[in-house]
Amino acid sequence: MAAIGIVISAAFAALVLTAASIESPVDTLSDAYLWRVVRFTLWQAGLSTLLSVGLAIPVTRALARRRFTGRRFLLGLFALPLALPALVVVLGVVEVWGLTGWFNGLAAMLGADLRLNVYGLMGILLAHVFFNLPLATRLLLVHFDRVPGETWRLASQLGMPPRAIWRFIEWPVLKAALPGAASLIFMLCVTSFTVVLTLGGGPGATTIEVAIYQALRFDFDPVRAVTLALIQLALCGVLVVAAGRMVGEVQAVPSIGKRVVRPDLEGRAGRLGDGLAITLATLFVMLPLLAIVAAAGRSELGRLVGEAAVWNAVVTSTLVAISAAMLSLLLTGGLLAAVRALCWSRSNESWFEQAVQASGSLILVMPPIVLGAGWFVLLRSYADIFTMAPAVVIVINALMALPFVLRVLGPAAKQADLDHARLCASLGLAGWNRLRLIDWPVLRRPLALALAFAMALSIGDLGVIALFGSEDFTTLPFLLYQRFGTYRIDDAAGLALILTVYCFGLIALADRVRGVRERSGK
């Protein structure tokens, strides 16, 4: 906890001290550009949330009502955007919806001159909905699945029509689930960096995080960067508190667990509406993925694989990812060990566990680009920023993965304590012997998954490397961004495919390791 606090506090202190040294902070706060950026940040996040959640409602209802061949595959497909690096999604969106993309080409064949332009608010919304429509659907579907079978049996006995089912059964479930899903998606869209950097970035389509990056890398205006970073920090803090207050809970109802067929499945209009919602959502998610594969076929993969720059980027990405993942696991292990050592009674267990969870989630309040801006400002007076870049990127990526690693390993470690703490105490097992004989067999499966996710997050990240990257320190996402920025779309597509396969390979390997060990009973 101390190490995490030092890293974040040092960045925060650098921002505050720089802001305090500004001769005329009123002039900075009265800058029209600054507040235009804040307004656009909230505007695009609000629109993205409204579209994502609004479109997810009919898709969720359709998936909750219908059982069909391929439903499990579709739910798996809806999990893919969560694991895809944002740059890969941006490329897919451009291939489908860009000026020379599939949609405009089809419109031209049909005689319609739509000329949809993805560079600006439209493209940002398309990319955000691609990410968050599947996320909202999966979050809402969990709540629909909690409705007990007895409720549907009672609805059948009462002869409730679809409108009454919506009013008395489905809407109460949605009303409790929507605030949590919407607040999470709004937070993700407010802190979106890569999507806005690549599809927006102009004066009329810039968010706070992109403006911080531009102020440091292009304008070298630390005053504006610090002001924006503090506004972003305050905004994220308010959103986290508001999200915690908005989350609702569906009341648990005792059930015998027997599945009952819903009574609102027979109407032709309902079947057509459900089929249309599922089909359109599937196409919306699948088309960018197919476009990435198709574009990669034009990219001369053989030439790309032979480029020294590509191999250097792959090696750099791998070293950074391994270092960041191991550091994240080390920090998580320290937090969990502190919980084990200090939670010696029920009276202090609750507050200390909450403190550990809070320390692991500080990165959600202080986004990576803001943390990077703090260290950029702190280091520029004492050292060569780009010489320190690898260490800074590794540390920030490790902190970025910490909330996810903590949520994977935390429950497993707590269960291991509940199962074996008394036995270890009676046998005098502690330290290395306890780790080797007791904890390792229990934790190695979630450890593999946590390591894979931490590496995938680090490999796919562009936010911090965009601030600290250079010709001598280039990761795979940074190289992809450079090729994309110079309109070498075919090369970018090939790099996107390599990056996607790399990330999915890590997750698939972790799942395979878990599956093999579960089948072997180890």
Q: Which of 21-35, 51-65, 171-185 has the highest mean pLDDT?
A: 51-65
Q: State residue 257's pLDDT score.
A: 46
Single-letter amino acid code for the residue at 301: L
Q: State residue 346's pLDDT score.
A: 47
Neighbour tally for 400: CB within 10 Å: 22
Greater pLDDT, 287 or 461: 287
Segment among 273-277, 281-285, 500-504 with least mean pLDDT: 500-504
Q: Is the per-residue pLDDT at 130 higher than 90?
A: yes
Q: State residue 125's pLDDT score.
A: 94
Q: What is the CATH number of domain 297-522?
A: 1.10.3720.10
Average pLDDT for 484-492: 78
The closest of 383, 439, 391, 384 to 412, measured between CA atoms, is 439
Predicted TM-score of the model (pTM) = 0.73
Cα(387)–Cα(383) distance, integer angstroms? 8
Q: State residue 520's pLDDT score.
A: 47
Q: How far is CA 476 from CA 93, 377, 498, in A?
A: 19, 25, 9
Domains 30-296 and 297-522 belong to one CATH topology: yes
> Which residue shows structure tokens 């970018």?
492
- Residues 476/319, Cβ–Cβ less than 8 Å: no
Q: What residues pair up with 470 in beta bridges, in sequence order?
A: 473
Cα(259)–Cα(238) distance, integer angstroms? 42
Q: State residue 381's pLDDT score.
A: 72
Q: State residue 521's pLDDT score.
A: 47
Dump pLDDT digits (tens) for 334-347.
777 776 666 544 44
Q: Is the per-residue pLDDT at 384 higher than 70?
A: yes
Helices marked H in 191-221: 194-199, 208-217
| Reported confidence tier of residue 255, pLDDT bands at 50, 70, 90 | very low
Segment among 160-164, 265-269, 479-483 with least mean pLDDT: 265-269
Superfamily of domain 30-296: MetI-like (1.10.3720.10)
Whole-number mean pLDDT of the chain?
Answer: 77
Average pLDDT for 42-54: 94
Neighbour tally for 205: CB within 10 Å: 19
Greater pLDDT, 283 or 406: 283
The domain segmentation of the chain, as residue ranges, is 30-296, 297-522
- Residues 232/34, Cβ–Cβ less than 8 Å: no
Q: Is the per-residue pLDDT at 105 higher than 80?
A: yes
> Which residue shows structure tokens 């199962």?
419
Average pLDDT for 344-368: 56
Average pLDDT for 447-474: 80
Single-letter amino acid code for the residue at 467: L
Q: Which of 4-8, 69-73, 476-480 has the highest mean pLDDT?
A: 476-480
Segment among 45-59, 78-92, 384-398, 402-416 with least mean pLDDT: 402-416
Q: Is the per-residue pLDDT at 61 higher than 80?
A: yes
Average pLDDT for 207-216: 84
Cα(92)–Cα(295) distance, integer angstroms? 9
Q: State residue 323's pLDDT score.
A: 93
Average pLDDT for 30-58: 90
Q: Is the per-residue pLDDT at 273 higher than 80?
A: yes
Greater pLDDT, 350 or 399: 399
